[in-house]
Amino acid sequence: MTVFKENENIIEFNVDDDGLLIKEILKDKFNISDRFLKRLERTKSVFLNGSRIKTNKIARKGDKITILMEDETDENVPQPIPIEIIYEDFDLLILNKPPKIVVHPTKSHPDNTIANGVAYYFKQKKIKKKVRFVNRLDMDTSGILVIAKNPFAHQQLAKQFESNIVEKRYLAIVEGIVKDDEGTIKEAIGRCNDVSIKRTVLEDGKVAITNYKVLERYKNATLLEIHIETGRTHQIRVHLSHIGHPIIGDSLYNKPSQLIDRQALHSYSLKFISPRTKERRLVFARLPKDMELLIEKLNG
């Protein structure tokens, strides 16, 4: 019998029902995907009450199922890029991403990305796991970025994002005075054409819902809190432009600004369910300096 010490490699589940197969419990009750379950079966990484076991065995009420996740090697080159950690536990690392930095390596940005910085942090902390991004932010959007430390956490959080269980809120500074104190934009979004990255409101596009609330009005601009119910590409930028209040500095859906050198959009709040404890968590990311300075200029 193996005695497990809780860490990022170990997840334990308490069995509440009698007579179910272990694989049924993991899939149906704890939302383990078929792909991940097959991986656990292949590596013989499932235990019942401390004993390694096949998943076609029956578990009883009061039993404890444990899954063991092996160490991994990440392919990103570790680089000492500063990262601002706003939350961390065995399963998740949540950052406040600064503007003007790419999340993961691409052909045009092969290094000096957030992924390189996280790989360096993992190496320093001896966390032997791949860097798994749960969400993405554009290079010029700042704020909350979620990294999973293991495949279980990645799968669980990704499912929450896909099912809109998470509650994402943004701050945006837009052109013009938004008259209504709050409102909802329900307009489908799709690609402008096959070659452009730009999106637009289209009748036959994908459903998109954006809620907004006015936080502050300036001389000719408005600070909005945005709550999105769907996660379409460029959704906030497209919707706000569509209602005649494009984000200041958005060169794709508006025009460049002399007051800020990127779109004034910040992901500042995230409510989610902890993949391990199932507790609700709420994290905040402070406003970056460039948006604070923009507000000062607009107030001047």
**pLDDT recorded at residue 194:** 75
**pLDDT recorded at residue 299:** 87
Question: In sequence order, what are the residues at sequence separation of 6 or more whose Cβ sits closer than 8 angstroms to the Cβ of residue 231?
Answer: 161, 164, 168
Domain residue extents for the chain: 10-68, 168-267+292-299
For the chain, 300 residues long, give each residue's pLDDT as a single digit of tens: 555 677 888 999 899 888 899 999 999 888 888 888 999 999 999 999 999 999 999 999 999 999 999 899 999 999 999 999 999 999 999 999 999 999 998 888 889 999 999 999 999 999 999 999 999 899 999 999 999 999 999 999 999 998 889 999 999 999 999 999 999 999 999 988 877 789 999 988 999 999 999 999 999 999 999 999 988 999 999 999 999 999 999 999 999 999 999 999 999 999 999 998 889 999 999 999 999 999 999 987
Across 265-299, b (16+ Cβ under 10 Å) vs e yields: bbbbbbebebbbeeeeeebebebbebbeebbeebe
**pLDDT recorded at residue 1:** 53
For 22, the enclosing helix (H) or strand (E) is: helix 22-24
User: For the chain, how are helix, strand and coil distributed in percent, rounded to 5?
Assistant: 20, 30, 50
Contact yes or no for 14/64 (Cβ under 8 A): yes
**pLDDT recorded at residue 300:** 74
| Same fold? 10-68, 168-267+292-299 | no
Contact yes or no for 72/130 (Cβ under 8 A): yes
What CATH number belongs to 10-68? 3.10.290.10
**pLDDT recorded at residue 2:** 54
Euclidean distance between the first and the last CA atom of the chain, given in angstroms as a whole number: 69
Q: What is the DSSP letter of 29?
A: I
Q: Which residues pair with 210 in a beta bridge?
A: 185, 228
For 130, the enclosing helix (H) or strand (E) is: none
**pLDDT recorded at residue 134:** 96
Choosing among 3.30.2350.10, 3.80.30.20, 3.40.462.20, 3.40.30.10, the CATH entry for 168-267+292-299 is 3.30.2350.10
Catalytic residues: 138
**pLDDT recorded at residue 196:** 79
Vertex 9 angle, CA 68 and 147, to 5°: 130
Tokens 């009750």, located at residue: 29
Q: What is this structure's pTM?
A: 0.91
